[in-house]
A and B are shown apart, each in its own frame.
Chain A
């Protein structure tokens, strides 16, 4: 589903964040991207949702090279990718329901679809009873669930999460991981960058280890596998 081929990323300031990265993700995969700070995890995530263009190489999603999209095609790509951030990025003056509905509204969904799918998404992340509350009335874990609901409400093929548990205590973090696993089981591909060793160890999923901008290890459910496609 995702083919990353010989991707290098040099930022305008000269930092070489990724060097010749090859990586393949199958549909329905759950992939952790780990590595020390500055290894290039966030950069990789940003390239996949086409926040930046790589300096070299190609990134194919469903066979389509997203580094060659036209400007107006980028939003169409994003509709198929749900993004979750470490710092939530919710609209604090709107309710939980409105925050999730916002993602549907701005791509032109009908009120009927919104009323049907937002509660479904909230139920999936276990927040049905908090729909009318504002983000600042929620705990960190609950806020991150709202983000998760917002990321899945448009039924994307892929969820990418950059340290979604970074601001949460371990127990709350596991709750988020359960929700993510739930989403993954329903067929959505998940790519998640994280520092949290305990999470990676308990989840027993594929782990891609970045070091100094290169893939230094790629383990599939405990066993070593060849990276690349």
Chain B
């Protein structure tokens, strides 16, 4: 006989053990009803805030890139220029190094555009042929960050009266969104740690209540993982349920928000739900499981010391 003898059919034993782990985990969840409920609540609140931040972040990012792509320079043409000269100017603009696209907007076209945006406010102008607007070029740079440099060289070109671009607004926006993302990230990490700590404490109560059982298990030779599994399953389950609730609520709310925005804030380009929700669901479930699992492992560590 060996000191290290084990025994039994491994597969049958594994199945039997898993039945035991799951039974133990769920009976513990039910026995500690209120604490389980509190843990789920903590994860739910955490992941709800986290999820909201994520949605916000994704949209801010989307909005930023959208705006980045839309920033363009408007170069107004001197009024005295004839058609030929305007065309030459266009060619030299296109040949500029950092320029991606040049579009000519005649003053008639500009007026029509303005009218469609502002409606009857500018009615009347087109009828009597008076048009206060100028011909212009809309110029897009290859990378948005080059915009001020290109604008400066345009300003110096003959035939161009004035150059317009939303530098300050754009730069401020870039800085703002960057800050939002960093603050959001720090906030999320803090929240996730808090949730993990709370879950660890919840399960620690369960573990405490069962410390005698655990001690006996150790004395009769239960393996560490045999002792650990039920608690791990318990934590993962609480974490997953805690993720399920915000996933459902946020998915619903986001869908509603996008629908509402389409009708009322049509200029605001929100990311469509199909794309965002999948990413959010995945992240929240992974995080919930992780928080629950790690929380329970932390709480049981002390009791497993030989």
Contact = CB atoms under 8 A, between A and B. Distances in A.
B216 A77 contact: no
B212 interface: yes
Contact of B212 (A89, A106, A110): A89
Given A76-B3, A77-B3, A91-B216, A107 B222 contact: yes
Which residue, of B2, B6, B213, B221, has the highest number of chain A Cβ atoms within 10 A? B221
B153 interface: no
In which size bucket is the chain A interface? Answer: 20 to 34
A24 B220 CA distance: 24
B220 A110 contact: no
B13 A108 contact: yes
A91 B213 contact: yes
A103 B3 contact: no
Contacts of A105: 20
Contacts of A115: none
B219 interface: yes
Contacts of B219: 49, 78, 83
A103 B13 contact: no
A79 B220 contact: yes
Interface string B21-33: 0000000000000
Nearest to A50: B306
B1 interface: yes
B143 interface: no
Contacts, number: 81
Contacts of A103: 216, 220
Nearest to B20: A105
A75 B222 contact: yes
A30 B197 CA distance: 49
A83 B218 CA distance: 11
Interface stretch (A11-19, A66-74, A117-125, A208-216): A66-74
B4 A73 contact: yes
Contacts of B13: 108, 110
A102 B214 CA distance: 11
B110 interface: no
B220 A51 contact: no
Interface string B196-219: 000000000000000011011111
A78 B220 contact: yes
Given A80-B3, A110-B12, A75 B213 contact: no
A82 B5 CA distance: 15
A150 interface: yes
A64 B4 contact: yes
B16 A72 contact: no
A-B pairs with the 3 shortest C-beta distances?
A79-B221, A78-B221, A106-B222
13 contacts: A61-B3, A72-B223, A75-B221, A76-B4, A79-B5, A81-B221, A89-B212, A89-B215, A89-B216, A108-B17, A109-B8, A150-B220, A157-B1
